[in-house]
Structure 1
C-alpha cells in the first residue's frame, strides 16, 4: 500500500468519524430541547389567549365613505374590548321610555331553521353507524391541509390515547386518530381508544401572525420524539412550501380582518344607561358575562356588541357608546350589519346622541350603505378563498 493510499484512508476515516459525531451531537441537542418543551405545561392557544390579542396587536376598523363610488382601505385602529358591567347601575324599569320600531325587535335569521325530521325507528346498527359517521366527519373537519401543517404518524403497534402527549406549539394543535375499527376520531387523554395512525396538525396562521420556522421546528421535534418513543414512522409535508402557504394565508386574513365600530356620542348630557339597557333589550340584546350587551344568533354566537367606547365599565351614565362587529367571525354578515346599523340609528335618535365614525364624522344612510358595499366585497373574497364567514375555519383563523 502506497503512502497516498494510506493517507487517503486516514483522511476518509476522519471525515466519517466527524460526520458521525456531528450527527450524534445534533440528535442529542434536539432531544434535549424537545424534552424541555415537553416538561412545560403547554397552554391552549385558543382558550387561554386574551380576547384582545389580534394580529400584530392591531385590528382594522372600517371607515365609512361619504361617496360610495370610491372605496378606501380601512384604517388601522386598536381593537376595543368590551368592559365589565357595573352591577350597581341597576335601576327600576322606566315605562315612559318609547319602544323601538317593531322591526328592531325582530331577530336576524342568520341560521335557517331546520325542517323537522320524519319520525323513524332506526335499528341499533343503523343508529350506531350514523353516530360513528358524524363523529368521523367532525374529526376529519378539525384538520385541513390548507390551514394546518399535518404530520402523519404510522404506528407498528396500536397507540393508547393516554400515551399521546400535548405537543409543544405556539399555535393551535389538534390530534385525530384512526381506531382499530377504522374510524377517525378526536384524540382525548381520557379516551380508551387505541389508534393505528395519528394525524397531528399545527395551524399555519391566526391573529398573532403566521407560524415561524422556529415554531415549526419545535413542533416537528416534539412529534418526532414521540414517534421515536413508540417506534413509529412519521411523514411530513414539505416545510418550505407550508411556511410559504402560512405567509400567504396570513396576508389574506390580514386583508379581510376588519372590525366595524359605530359610535354614539352624547351631545348635552350623558346618556342614562338604564334607558340604553331597555332599548338594547327591546332590540334583542342581552347582557353578557363581560358586562357588554350582546346580540346573538339562535345558536348563541355573538354577532355584535354594545359597550362604552372608552372600555370603562358600564355604570349609571355614559358619554360615548360603541357598537362593534367582528366581520370575518359572523355568518350572514350583510343581514347582521343591516340590523346593526338600523339599531344604531334608532338608538342614537332615542337617546339624543350623534352617530359618528372613529374620526367623529357623522354617519348617514349613504355612508352606511358605503360600508355595506365594502362588506360585500370582503365576504365575496372570503367565499372565493373557501373560508366562509363564521365557519369553523374562520373562527380558527380569526381567534
Structure 2
C-alpha cells in the first residue's frame, strides 16, 4: 500500500470518527433533560415552610395526597393517584401537605337561597340526619341543611345534638350557571319532603325574586371569574418529567394527586393551592418517563380561590421567571407570544382591579363564599 493510500485511509477514518462524534453530540443535545443532570441539593427547609419537616429524599411523585377540595361532592370526582409513574430519582419526597380540614362554610344569604324550618318540637341530630335526602345537590347546585346549635351557631347536623331551628339552602349560582325555575322547584320539593318527615313547618322565599337574584349574581360572577396561566416553553432541549419536577421542587412546588400536576401550597391550613404546575399526564405515566420529552409546562393561578394576601400573582411571576432561567425556557401566553415585563405589569394591575371589585361585593378572593361561587 502506497503512502498516499495510507494517508487517505487515515483521513477517512478521522472523518468517520468525527461524523460519529457529531451525531452523538446532536443526539445528546436533543435528548430530554433529566433530573440527574442537575444533582445540586435542594435548599435547606425554611421554618415557615408547611412541609419543611419532611425529608428531601427522592421518591415517586404520584403517591401524594389529594388536592384541597371545597366540598365532599367534589372529592368523589377526583381519581386516586397512580403509582410508579416516575422513577424514584425523579422528585423529592415532599408532598402536597396534609392539612386540617377547615369547617365547611355555612349557608350564606349572599350566595344561597335559604328556607327556615321550624319543627313542632326539638329534634335530635340523629333524626335530622336520617331525614336528609339521599343527594346533596339540586340540579347542578349544592344543597345543604343546617341546625342551630345550643350555642347559637348554625352547623351541619351532628349525632347527639338537639335542634329547635333548622334551615335548608341551595346555592344561587356557580360555574354551571344561575339557579333556574326548575331547580328552585326541585329545591322546594326536596326541602318540603325533608320537613314533612320531621313534622316541621318550612317557609320558602319568593321564587321570582330568588331566580332574579341568581341571574344577577351569575352575571357578576361571569364578569369577574379569572383563571390566569403562563406557559413555559423550552428554548432548545426538551425536558423529562423528572427534570421539570426537580426544578419545580426548588421553587416550593410539591406533588399533587394527579399525574403531571404539582402545586404550591398556601400559607394557611385548608387553603386552596396558590399555584399549580401541569404538564402532559401521558408523559408522567409513560413506561419510562425519563425518556418522555416535554417542550412546555403550564403555571396556573385560580385567581378567585386564592387570598389577595398571598400575593399570588407575584408568586406566579417569580416562579415562571425562575423556572425559565433554570430550565432554559421562555415564558409565553397561550398564543406562544413571549411575555415582557411590561405585559406582566399590566396583568398585575388588572388583577388588582379585579380584587377590588370582589372585595366591594363581599366576595373577596379566597373567601369561602368566593370559592363556592367560582366552582
1:73-125 residue CA offsets vs partner (Å, 9 max, x unmatched)? xxxxxxxxxx978633443799xxxxxxxxxxxxxxxxxxxxxxxxxxxxxxx
Tell me the SS of whatever aligns to 2:122: strand
Cα distance in 1 for residues equivalent to 2:219 and 2:264: 30
Tell me the SS of whatever aligns to 1:375: helix
Tell me the SS of whatever aligns to 1:380: helix
Per the alignment, residue 360 of structure 1 pairs with 336
* Pairwise CA distance, 1:44: 5.4
Per the alignment, residue 150 of structure 1 pairs with 114
Superposed counterparts of 1:1-399, under 5 Å:
45-48=73-76, 87-91=85-89, 142-164=106-128, 165-167=131-133, 169-170=138-139, 171-179=141-149, 181=150, 183-188=152-157, 191-291=159-259, 292-300=261-269, 301-308=272-279, 310-314=280-284, 315-316=289-290, 317-332=293-308, 335-399=311-375
Does the aligned pair in 1 maintain the 2:148–2:164 contact within 8 Å?
Answer: yes
Cα distance in 2 for residues equivalent to 1:307 and 1:221: 42
Does the aligned pair in 2 maintain the 1:334–1:372 contact within 8 Å?
Answer: no
Does the aligned pair in 2 maintain the 1:357–1:363 contact within 8 Å?
Answer: yes
1:354-380 residue CA offsets vs partner (Å, 9 max, x unmatched)? 211001111111111111111111111
Change (3 A) 1:363 1:85: farther
Cα distance in 2 for residues equivalent to 1:50 and 1:243: 31
In structure 1, runs of 5+ residues without a counterpart are 1-42, 52-82, 95-134
Question: For this pair of structures, how many residues does the alignment match?
Answer: 280
In structure 2, runs of 5+ residues without a counterpart are 1-70, 93-101
Cα distance in 2 for residues equivalent to 1:341 and 1:298: 18
1:227-260 residue CA offsets vs partner (Å, 9 max, x unmatched)? 2333322111221111111111111111111111
Does the aligned pair in 2 maintain the 1:85–1:313 contact within 8 Å?
Answer: no
Does the aligned pair in 2 maintain the 1:264–1:355 contact within 8 Å?
Answer: yes
Tell me the SS of whatever aligns to 1:192: coil
Greater CA drift, 366-375 or 223-232: 223-232
Does the aligned pair in 2 maintain the 1:152–1:199 contact within 8 Å?
Answer: yes
1:116-171 residue CA offsets vs partner (Å, 9 max, x unmatched)? xxxxxxxxxxxxxxxxxxx9xx79x6111121111111111112222233345232
Cα distance in 1 for residues equivalent to 2:193 and 2:238: 61
1:6-52 residue CA offsets vs partner (Å, 9 max, x unmatched)? xxxxxxxxxxxxxxxxxxxxxxxxxxxxxxxxxxxxx954434569x
* Pairwise CA distance, 1:345: 1.3
* Pairwise CA distance, 1:325: 0.6
Change (3 A) 1:380 1:227: same
Tell me the SS of whatever aligns to 2:274: strand
Cα distance in 2 for residues equivalent to 1:93 and 1:182: 48
Which structure exhibits the higher relative contact order, with contacts defined as CA atoms closer than 8 Å and separated by 6 or more residues? Answer: 1
Tell me the SS of whatever aligns to 2:75: coil
Cα distance in 1 for residues equivalent to 2:315 and 2:156: 41
Cα distance in 2 for residues equivalent to 1:356 and 1:305: 16
* Pairwise CA distance, 1:196: 1.2
Change (3 A) 1:338 1:92: closer
Tell me the SS of whatever aligns to 2:117: strand
Cα distance in 2 for residues equivalent to 1:272 and 1:230: 60
Cα distance in 1 for residues equivalent to 2:91 and 2:249: 12
